[in-house]
């Protein structure tokens, strides 16, 4: 059986999506916790939180979940515990359905990397066989991350894509949250 790790990537800039009247730090913590709860609920996956300079994330982690500091998002895959496969999920996608993570892992059966593209550019999540080669280090905010990674790949069919989703990058993006989806309770509570 494959060993897998799923990490939630949290950066300070994600707080910029806080709508007016909502404390940015609280909003960031709520999004990160909702995304982490989704990841931690996945079966056969070891959860991890990656913090690029955001304090207090130990408070949202279940006992035994590592909270690992990283210098920048570019270091995300290198910081993961060595399993066979891993996925990095951007914390600003609190209503991401877990099924989309499963689809990325399934794509690794035919590709070295699988990307859940973000509406408006960038990536919501990136899954990879570990360790990740240098050419595959993703920039989650690169406008066309899939095309960029395919250009860097040393061969064809090394980068697969799954269904896309949205990220919360600006206050108006909260309108993209799907009220019909379960989860994202902490973010929802701040918005109501």
- For residue 1, pLDDT over 80 is answered with no
Give the percent of the chain with pLDDT over 70: 100
At residue 8 the predicted structure's pLDDT band, cuts being 50, 70 and 90, is: very high
Average pLDDT, stretch 165-186? 95
Q: Which helix (H) or strand (E) segment is 51 a member of?
A: strand 46-51
Per-residue model confidence as pLDDT tens digits over 66-92:
999 999 999 999 999 888 999 999 999
What's the pLDDT score for residue 23? 97
Q: How far is CA 136 from CA 1, 76, 187, in A?
A: 24, 11, 31
What's the pLDDT score for residue 2? 82
What is the C-alpha separation between 75 and 48, in angstroms, rounded?
A: 14
Give the percent of the chain with pLDDT over 90: 91
**3-class DSSP assignment, residue 29:** helix
At residue 45 the predicted structure's pLDDT band, cuts being 50, 70 and 90, is: very high
- For residue 6, pLDDT over 90 is answered with yes
Q: Tell me the two tokens of residue 100.
A: 């989309």
Average pLDDT, stretch 7-31? 98
Rounded-to-10 torsion of CA 71, 17, 28, 5:
-60
Average pLDDT, stretch 20-31? 97
What's the pLDDT score for residue 116? 98
Per-residue model confidence as pLDDT tens digits over 122-166:
999 999 999 998 888 889 999 999 999 999 999 999 999 999 999
**CB-hemisphere CA count at 13 Å for 121?**
7
Q: Tell me the two tokens of residue 112.
A: 């070295």
What's the pLDDT score for residue 160? 97
At residue 14 the predicted structure's pLDDT band, cuts being 50, 70 and 90, is: very high
DSSP per-residue letters across 93-139? -TT--HHHHHHHHHHTTT-SEEEEEBTTSSEEEEEEESSPPGGG---
**3-class DSSP assignment, residue 83:** coil
Q: How far is CA 92 from CA 3, 5, 39, 159, in A?
A: 25, 19, 13, 23
Average pLDDT, stretch 36-42? 97
What's the pLDDT score for residue 138? 86
């Amino acid at each position: 059986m494959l060993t897998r790790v799923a990490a939630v990537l949290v950066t300070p800039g994600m707080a910029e999506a806080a709508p007016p009247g909502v404390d940015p730090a609280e909003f960031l913590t709520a999004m990160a916790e909702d995304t982490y709860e989704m990841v931690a609920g996945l079966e056969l996956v070891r959860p991890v939180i990656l913090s690029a300079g955001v304090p207090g994330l130990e408070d949202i982690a279940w006992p035994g979940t590592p909270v690992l500091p990283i210098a920048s998002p570019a270091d995300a895959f290198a910081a993961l515990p060595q399993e066979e496969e891993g996925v990095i999920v951007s914390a600003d996608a609190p209503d991401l359905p877990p099924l989309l993570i499963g689809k990325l892992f399934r794509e690794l059966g035919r590709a070295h990397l699988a990307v859940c593209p973000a509406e408006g550019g960038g990536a919501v999540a990136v899954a990879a066989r570990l360790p990740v080669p240098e050419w595959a280090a993703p920039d989650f905010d690169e406008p066309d991350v899939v095309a960029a990674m395919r250009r860097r790949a040393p061969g064809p069919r090394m980068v697969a894509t799954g269904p896309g989703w949205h990220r919360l990058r600006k206050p108006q993006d909260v309108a993209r949250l799907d009220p019909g989806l379960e989860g994202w309770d902490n973010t929802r509570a701040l918005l109501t």
